[in-house]
Each structure stands twice: as structure tokens, then as C-alpha cells.
Chain A
Amino acid sequence: MTAAEMLSIAAFREGRHAQAFPSFGSERTGAPVVAFCRMDEREIRLREPVLEPDALIIQDPTLLHQVDVFAGLGAAGRVLINTTRSLEQLGLKELAGKFRFCSVPATELALKHVGRPVPNAALLGGFAAIAGLISIDAVAAAIREKFSGAVADGNVAAASAAHEYVMREIAEGLHA
């Protein structure tokens, strides 16, 4: 959920309207969750869940085969996966042509910069890179709104690192 929140804050900081909300469950820590974020230039009135996402951020690839996470994702939809492994390893080879995949070792980056396996900030940094909707600065600002002090710095660092990682990934054009 935090990721969606921060994404909406980042968008807000860039003068957009944004709406973030969870798939309302009584979430327990670690349990699988889905959260949504809409961004628009105009006021967002729509309250239905995001059924046809333009982009998908997958925090935990181990869930890939439990729920059909790709449902509704439009053609050439962007997908950012938190992983160090390749699409083959993830068993997503056949989808490679269908969507535009990027991966980022968000958890590792988090461990490196924050000291804890909290991939959200890194994923947002990566998302800023693939979507081009929001700047890494907005992401940093959003992070600093949610966190403060060392935690904020760590998360910002992780986000920046992820951003660079994905930019390079795109530049190298290797769509795993």
C-alpha cells in the first residue's frame, strides 16, 4: 500500500490529480495485497478498482502464479518486477512479447541502503524510470514526506539507485 500512497504523493507533487487505494482487505503483515493508483490531469471521480492498468508493479514475484496479476493489463503495458532473476527463471517467457518488462533488485537495494527488505521506495524509483510520468525528484520528495531522517535518506538512495538501474536497463534495451 505504501508504494501506491507514495506514488500518488509523487504525482500530486507534480501537480497531477492522483488517487491511491488498497484492495480493501483486513491486511495482515506479509499477506498478499493489491493496491491501486490512478494519475490524471483532471479530477479523478472514478471509484472502481483499477481493472485495466497501464502499468503493473510486482513487489513479490512468488505470487505470480497464485493470482492472475496480468488480468486487464493492456497491450504493451509496462511491468516492473522486483527480482534479480530473468523472465525465463520466473516462467514468464511467453509473456515477453505481450508486455514491456523491466526488473529491478529492489529488495537488495533496500537492504543495501535502508538496511531492511523494504522494496517500495526502490520500486518507485524504478517506476519513475519506466513510466516517465513522474520524476525521480518527485519520488524522493514523496519518500521524504512519508519518512524522515536516516530512513528517508536510505529510501531516497535506494530509489535513486533503482532509477539509475532501470534507466541503464532501458538504455541497454535488454528486455530480459
Chain B
Amino acid sequence: MLKQIEGSHAVAEAVALCRPEVICAYPISPQTHIVEGLGEMVKSGALAKCEFINVESEFAAMSVAIGASAAGARAYTATASQGLLFMAEAVFNASGLGLPIVMTVANRAIGAPINIWNDHTDALSQRDCGWIQLFAENNQEALDLHIQAFRLGEELSLPVMVCMDGFILTHAYERVDMPTQEQVDAYLPIFEPRQVLDPSEPVSIGAMVGPEAFMEVRYLAHAKQMKALELIPGWADEFRAAFGRDSGGLLHRYRTEDADTVVVALGSVLGTVKDTVDELRRDGQKIGVLGVTCFRPWPLAAVREALAGAKRVVVIEKSLAVGLGGIVSSNVYNSYAGGADAVHAVIAGLGGRAITRASLARMLRDAVAGRLEPLTFLDLDQPLVERALAREREQRRSGPLAEAILRDLGVVAARPG
């Protein structure tokens, strides 16, 4: 059924359709609307047979989910930014124990300086935590991915993180096609836990494993994610068959067939990128787009295949590996036969900085013209950082960088982007 609703509420409704049994909630922007929506559904009885638990921290949220999942309940929670970092220990633990928890991450920057706006630093900081990480391009995909996530996680006994851009998606009203309960029930079987805490068949979960077996345990975790790579496309096909939509899967290809230049990106920015690419195509540029839906496990073969024909790759990423550069691009390097120097990392949209068609077009034209640096910061206020660096040079103790920049900027602008 078509609806014009906020992304958060779309996700909340989709999660409810998945019949979660335990939901742990701790407020942090921009995830809050999702659990608020679910909380109301549980209280009103619209979502029956579900425990909604207001916990005292994200660490507790993930921990409660771990307990619930280990006891055989379908568990869900949502978080963002600092919250994800605060629960990091439990995030690793959930995957280590192989518990199919589904968590929404409403992507947001990480402080300091504190910043509530969108980028991917939070999710990418957890890229090696052993969870499956899916990135939604729009609200339709966001809600679809949650339905797939429960199926995926429970079949593989792995936790799944559904990443959607904070505010840009979570707070955006747009049209979504909300599936019916029947459709979801048909696609998502009853949760049959692989291991469960039950007095009738007692086991000890979470043993201490020493050097004699730890490597093997890690290897098996890796093998399990590799297995996911094989299965995910099939499940996406099944999903298409059941719901008539292309959601999920490993990658989304857009006009890459004959593309010399392929833009790689994650999440909501893909929409703007596609519009930009259409514009450049009209000017005769052979540009395509590769959207990475499944970031973990990293679909190396699929990416390599998608980039096979490209002369150059531009990776637009909303995160920065400080001291290295691009995180996604580092993943792309070894998936691209063309060699690292043909891969350009473009850091964009950090902390909510708007990524505009104009800037993208300018940057892509540079790329096509071979003027694009290996590492670029889109729309960076160059003069400002120059001044800051200069100040750095002249006096070593110049106070917090953020403060200095704001001083240059004058006011904290609540301006768009």
C-alpha cells in the first residue's frame, strides 16, 4: 500500500510487520522517531506479543537484545553515532555469539566536535565488528532492507545492521509502498534460533576460547559472511518476486554498461549522484553509478565485475579514515583491476554538509578531465583551513581546532547544508 510518510515511521511499520518480540530503546538523534513509533505500537497493542524495553544506555540496549536473542526471541534495536560507539563492545559480542539481532543505524557523524547531522563515520567505524551491514538508498529500500535483514540474519545466525542516512532519510516524508502483513509473513519464516537458552536443553553460551581454537572461531565467522555473499542475491530475487521491487542485494548498478567513469557510493547520496550522472550523460559523458547496498560482507567479486570496464572510479564517501583517507575507497582499491591510481576518493557530506548536484557535477567533470586528486574533500572551505593551518604553524598551542574554525566562520550557521 502506498503511503506518504516519514522514513522513520516507514521503518517502524516495517519492523513491526516483522513481528519483533523484544525491542530495546534508548534515545539518540536521528534514530529516535523509529523506536518512538514502535513504542506506541506496542503500547497501543497494534504490535502484540512484543516487549518494548526502555533501557538506560545503548550498551544496555544491545545487551538486552543479546539476552533476548539468546533466549530465542526476535530482537531489534536502533541507534546512531555516539550511541553505536557506546555499545561497540556489545556489538562485537552479538556477532561473536552469532545472535541474529537486527539494528537500524540512522547514520550520523561522531564527535568531537559534537554534531548531530548525517555522515557514515558511525557505521563504518564498526565495519569489522562481524555484523552484516546494509545501506539504504531511500526510504523504500530502508524499510525493505529491514524485512530482508531479519530473514538474512536468522538464516545465517548473524546480526544485521541496516544503515540509513540520518535526517536525510529518517526525517524525510516520501512515498513508500508498505507491504501487507501477509506478504511479510510469507517471506519471513518464524524465528528458529540456531542455539537457545532453554532449561530443557541446557548449554553454556559464550565460553572462553584460547589460542588453541580462537583462530578457527574467527575463520568460521569470516566463512559465514562469505556465505552471506552467495545467499544475499538469491534472497533479493525472492524479495523481488514477492514484493515486486528491487531492494537489497549486493550492489545497484546504474548506467554502468558502457561507463568509462563509475561513481561508487553508499546510501541516500546515490539519488543525487544519479541525477547528476543523468545530467552529465546528456552532455555525452560516459558515467555510471555503482551503489553498494551490502558493505559487509564486502562483495569483492561483484564490485570487480561491475568496475571491470571502467577507466576510472570515483568513490564518494561520507566518512574519513583520518590519517588514511577514504574507507570505502580502500575497499574498492583491491576490487578494481584498473589499479589504485585510477581510484579517486572523494570525502563528502561530513557532519551533514549538503552534497549538491552542482558540486558533484563540477567534481565529476574534473575527474573525467583527469584533474581530480586521488583524495578530494568536496566543497571544502579551502581558505578557512589554510588560515587554521597557518595559525597552527605560527603558534603551537592554538586551542581546539573546532573553536578556531567557528571563530573564522563567525556564527554557527543554521543554514541549509
A and B touch in the complex (CB under 8 A): yes
Bound: A173/B6 CA distance, A? 38
A23 at the interface (CB under 8 A from B): yes
Instruction: Say yes or no: B357 contacts A19, CB within 8 Å.
Output: no
Interface string of A87-120 (1 = CB under 8 A from B): 0000000000000000000000000000000000
Instruction: Say yes or no: A49 contacts B272, CB within 8 Å.
Output: no
Interface string of A1-41 (1 = CB under 8 A from B): 00011001101110001111111111000001010100000
In the assembled complex, which residues on chain A have CB atoms less than 8 Å from the CB atom of B171? Answer: 21-22, 24
Instruction: Say yes or no: B414 contacts A23, CB within 8 Å.
Output: yes
B93 at the interface (CB under 8 A from A): no
Bound: A9/B6 CA distance, A? 10
Instruction: Say yes or no: B174 contacts A8, CB within 8 Å.
Output: yes
In the assembled complex, which residues on chain B have CB atoms less than 8 Å from the CB atom of A67? Answer: 415
Task: Find residues 83-121 in chain B having any chain A CB closer than 8 Å to their own CB.
Answer: 116-118
Residue from B116, B174, B415 within 8 A of A18 (CB atoms): B174
Q: What's the tally of chain B residues with a CB closer than 8 Å to chain A?
A: 34
Bound: A20/B167 CA distance, A? 11
Residue from B29, B268, B416 within 8 A of A49 (CB atoms): B416
Bound: A67/B416 CA distance, A? 11
Is chain B's binding surface mostly helix, strand, loop or mixed? loop
Bound: A137/B411 CA distance, A? 43
B30 at the interface (CB under 8 A from A): yes
In the assembled complex, which residues on chain B have CB atoms less than 8 Å from the CB atom of A18? Answer: 4, 173-175
In the assembled complex, which residues on chain B have CB atoms less than 8 Å from the CB atom of A48? Answer: 272, 354-357, 417
| Contact A24/B173 with A46-B271, A46-B272, A47-B168 known, Cβ cut-off 8 Å | no
Instruction: Say yes or no: A19 contacts B275, CB within 8 Å.
Output: no
B27 at the interface (CB under 8 A from A): no
A64 at the interface (CB under 8 A from B): no
A65 at the interface (CB under 8 A from B): no
Instruction: Say yes or no: B268 contacts A47, CB within 8 Å.
Output: yes
CB distance from B15 to the nearest CB of A (A): 21
B269 at the interface (CB under 8 A from A): yes
- Select from chain B the residue with minimum beta-carbon distance to A67: B415
In the assembled complex, which residues on chain A have CB atoms less than 8 Å from the CB atom of B414? Answer: 23, 25, 32
B274 at the interface (CB under 8 A from A): yes
In the assembled complex, which residues on chain B have CB atoms less than 8 Å from the CB atom of A36? Answer: 416
Residue from B168, B269, B272 within 8 A of A21 (CB atoms): B168
Instruction: Say yes or no: A46 contacts B357, CB within 8 Å.
Output: yes
In the assembled complex, which residues on chain A have CB atoms less than 8 Å from the CB atom of B174? Answer: 8, 17-20, 44
In the assembled complex, which residues on chain A have CB atoms less than 8 Å from the CB atom of B173? Answer: 4-5, 8-9, 18-21
CB distance from A141 to the nearest CB of B (A): 11
B342 at the interface (CB under 8 A from A): no
CB distance from B10 to the nearest CB of A (A): 13
In the assembled complex, which residues on chain A have CB atoms less than 8 Å from the CB atom of B354? Answer: 48-49
Bound: A12/B118 CA distance, A? 26
| Contact A46/B275 with A17-B175, A24-B352, A25-B414 known, Cβ cut-off 8 Å | yes
A→B interface (CB under 8 Å): 4-5, 8-9, 11-13, 17-26, 32, 34, 36, 44-51, 67
B→A interface (CB under 8 Å): 2, 4, 6, 29-30, 116-118, 138, 165-168, 171-175, 268-272, 274-275, 352, 354-357, 414-417
Closest 3 CB pairs of A and B: A45-B271, A12-B4, A24-B167
Selected A-B contacts with CB under 8 Å, 7 pairs: A8-B173, A20-B172, A23-B415, A24-B167, A26-B116, A47-B271, A49-B354
